[in-house]
Amino acid sequence: MTKVKFRGDLGASSDSLFKALSDGTRRALLEYLVREGEQNVVALTAVAGVSQPMVSRHMGKLKRAGLVTARRTGRETWFAARTKGLGPVVQWMAIYGALWSQRFTPMEHAGD
């Protein structure tokens, strides 16, 4: 069976991006990094409401998805948001936002 490629199919690398963003804790951690700048795991654990090992796992998934960068300083790992990593999401939203707008506008006016 051949896989059908849709216009908005951004590939396997985007799958990890969408999976990473599907978790509320990961989205909250990413938003925190965007707002506050680079943070270490200790600081992220303090705001996450989950254990340090869970924060490390979440950050690993965000890193693999290209949404954060990590740097080691001694025994600490510091994470920073990589907003360019959201490019595929923005691209997907542009494609489907236009499609949805075209399809829903006639439906909204059908009862006029």
Class for the domain spanning 11-103 = mainly alpha
Q: What is the pLDDT of residue 92?
A: 78
Q: If we measure between CA atoms, which residue out of 81, 82, 100, 102 comes closest to residue 92? A: 100
Residue 40 dihedral angles phi and psi, to the nearest 5°:
-90, 170
List, for residues 34-61, the tens digit of each pLDDT value.
Answer: 999 999 999 999 999 999 999 999 999 9
Using pLDDT thresholds of 50, 70 and 90, give the confidence band for residue 4: very low
Q: Is the pLDDT of residue 5 over 70?
A: no
Residue 65 in contact with residue 81, Cβ under 8 Å? no
Q: What is the pLDDT of residue 6?
A: 47
pLDDT above 90 as % of the chain? 57
Q: What is the pLDDT of residue 60?
A: 96
1-10, 13-22, 82-91, 93-102: segment of lowest average pLDDT:
1-10
Where are the chain's structural domains?
Answer: 11-103
